[in-house]
Structure 1
């Protein structure tokens, strides 16, 4: 049965606890007013939940919860954040996921709040509001699943930021100003349209996780190796990774390639007068198998094999080998034992081991 509209019905139905939590979530409310809540409950409230209702707006009376520290208005139909929110001087966390908010939805003085956590994911932002760039105590900013096309240079103002989540947008570039966030530990930029990574990111000395999967990256700057505290680098779904992924299928060589391999691998002599010009040209394009234990060659049909190598005890990076056949399983090494050890993570100290996530 649908709960009647209005603050009085909401106050009667909401759950309250002794630790200052007021929960009005999932009550099918289409309107809410703090006027229907007693002065004592408003004064004692530390957390207010209004998620999963049918709210199109919040009245300014929400500012009457003078001691509120946590406000969740997710999964409603909000198109604006009311001016009354700016009176919540003790508010530390605002969660407004999955609404209809955009860059014009925030009150002018929103930047005066003392927020530490702000979550606007799943809305309609095309730009990050400049009011957000004034939240100097902000430690976590989430704007995933919006319509952002860029990251403003003013992001560098958020010097307390530890987590920046901007996945699932339309961002095409990472501004170098991101590198001026000294405490940033988690940077999530997956599912965007980013084509390159600025080398300045090497200044993010606190960075532990960098999520760049499902973008348009074709290379990474060498400076990325200087991120000594990086524990996780996610790259799957980028053009640069496609080159490294091992092919699971192997197309057998054609009869032409079989014949060419036989001539080249057995050093059978041939002369210009013996073969047509197109076959002579074909034989000139033979590629030698990189496996030192194999004297084979290949032309059009080869096996792509990925191998992870340890970079100075810090990073495990992919190298690509083009082999003449699936039987060539130990390329580019004359010491099988060293190959086995390089694949064994236990050979690298745990505190120095980093992960490159390709799939």
Structure 2
């Protein structure tokens, strides 16, 4: 089987055995179900190219299976309750991943794992809570479509100007203000669509008009006062939307250019006419536009707005410095409390820093979280979960790991770990049972010892 579509059902769990024999699968769609976790056997799908998980409540799923899917090209995780804490820390092994959709989630910043994707071309981060972009975005050298609409962005970093292959940039419904767009945005020479509707923009950089391939420019529902005069030189423009900018005054056409150079009438009257305004409204706009204008008043108004924005930035900087100082004082107080003498004797190894090891390749994230018995059998050097119906049936040629989970007197989870070695088991199975028993202990963070009961061997 190459294609499996189980979307738009009411599936809440997937059997662990489902993907064992589907290693040739290329396309898998599990969207719009009720899945809260994914089986660890999904890491066997090494040929999978497209994975769609949209619309599943995967809040507590860590998605540790993803780094093993090295052939993955498309990954859609829209509306799956993704946060900074439940995404993989790295996806650099997915060298073919080109299309990622993380829209409609709870991200407050761009996940670090996205910066390590060498083939990324389409990225959708719309409808999140992202407040700023890192300078690391200059690593997206192949990105062609970037959707950041419906976030909390107030400005774009200058590093975005290094995305030389970017064709479509969507910034609708953010909080971009007076200095929201970098002055070097004209370096995006391949830009075809730029959409920044429903923001707080008052001006756009003149360099935006140097994007020779720009076909669609949407700036409606802002606070634009004017546009650069170079807007008239965008010869490839097909859509210019500047509706609902009440203070907008369109720049005049240069007098030294013939009319045949232009295929769009940028006058306010024509824009109102295209928008379906009544003839009386168009005539009133023409009369209002013919009156004398005070260019100095407009410059002063813009300067006041810019000064106000700079004051707000200064306040933010001072608040940030205050927060850093408070955090530093708090850490110093905690350090002093930790050094204070106490009557309790600490273990010698409690002060040692434990290395960060990932055992999710062998054990699921819910292991040891409920009282009961869990058993694994060693197969091909790795532990494989044994179904409950087969508990108690051990074979002399195999080795097993047994986890007993129980509640102690205080109501806290506790564990006992054993490994059972068959009398006719091979040396590799014997070694792996002992090694993975220790791995299980480390994965649980338990302080118990791993034992091999002699009466079972």
TM superposition score category, shorter chain reference: 0.5 to 0.7
In structure 2, what is the equivalent of residue 127 of structure 1? 109
In structure 2, what is the equivalent of residue 227 of structure 1? 211
Q: CA RMSD in A?
A: 3.1
Alignment of 1:68 with 2:52, yes or no, is no
The question of whether the paired residues in 2 share the 8 Å contact of 1:147 and 1:170 is answered with: yes
Give me the whole-angstrom Cα distance separating, in 2, the residues matched to 1:110 and 1:331.
56
Deviation at 1:225, TM superposition (A): 1.4
The question of whether the paired residues in 2 share the 8 Å contact of 1:246 and 1:306 is answered with: no
The question of whether the paired residues in 1 share the 8 Å contact of 2:138 and 2:160 is answered with: yes
From 313, 322, 326, the equivalent of 2:284 is 326
Give me the whole-angstrom Cα distance separating, in 2, the residues matched to 1:314 and 1:228.
15
Alignment of 1:99 with 2:80, yes or no, is yes
Residues 175/35 of structure 1: CA separation in 2 closer, same or farther (3 Å cut): same
Give the gaps of 5 or more residues in structure 2. Answer: 228-241, 270-280, 291-457
In structure 2, what is the equivalent of residue 185 of structure 1? 167
Give me the whole-angstrom Cα distance separating, in 2, the residues matched to 1:325 and 1:21.
61
Alignment of 1:88 with 2:69, yes or no, is yes
The question of whether the paired residues in 1 share the 8 Å contact of 2:20 and 2:41 is answered with: no
Residues 32/247 of structure 1: CA separation in 2 closer, same or farther (3 Å cut): closer
1:164 alignment partner, SS class:
strand
The question of whether the paired residues in 1 share the 8 Å contact of 2:57 and 2:81 is answered with: yes
Residues 134/316 of structure 1: CA separation in 2 closer, same or farther (3 Å cut): farther
Residues 247/130 of structure 1: CA separation in 2 closer, same or farther (3 Å cut): closer
The CA deviation string for residues 10-33 of structure 1, in whole angstroms up to 9 with x for no partner, is xxxxxxxx6x21011122111124
State how 1:246-261 maps to structure 2 within 5 Å: none
The question of whether the paired residues in 1 share the 8 Å contact of 2:203 and 2:226 is answered with: no
2:201 alignment partner, SS class:
coil
The question of whether the paired residues in 2 share the 8 Å contact of 1:179 and 1:204 is answered with: yes
Residues 37/216 of structure 1: CA separation in 2 closer, same or farther (3 Å cut): same
The question of whether the paired residues in 1 share the 8 Å contact of 2:83 and 2:106 is answered with: yes
In structure 2, what is the equivalent of residue 148 of structure 1? 130
Give me the whole-angstrom Cα distance separating, in 1, the residues matched to 2:15 and 2:89.
22
Residues 153/65 of structure 1: CA separation in 2 closer, same or farther (3 Å cut): same
1:61 alignment partner, SS class:
helix
2:132 alignment partner, SS class:
coil
The question of whether the paired residues in 1 share the 8 Å contact of 2:122 and 2:145 is answered with: yes
Count matched residues. 256
Give me the whole-angstrom Cα distance separating, in 2, the residues matched to 1:193 and 1:72.
31
Residues 159/34 of structure 1: CA separation in 2 closer, same or farther (3 Å cut): farther
Give the gaps of 5 or more residues in structure 1. Answer: 1-17, 249-303, 333-359
The CA deviation string for residues 120-150 of structure 1, in whole angstroms up to 9 with x for no partner, is 0000000111110111110001010011101
Give me the whole-angstrom Cα distance separating, in 1, the residues matched to 2:210 and 2:16.
52
In structure 1, what is the equivalent of residue 221 of structure 2? 237
Deviation at 1:310, TM superposition (A): 5.9
Give me the whole-angstrom Cα distance separating, in 2, the residues matched to 1:327 and 1:239.
18
Give me the whole-angstrom Cα distance separating, in 1, the residues matched to 2:53 and 2:14.
11
Q: What is the TM-score normalised by the length of structure 2?
A: 0.51
In structure 2, what is the equivalent of residue 48 of structure 1? 28
In structure 2, what is the equivalent of residue 207 of structure 1? 191
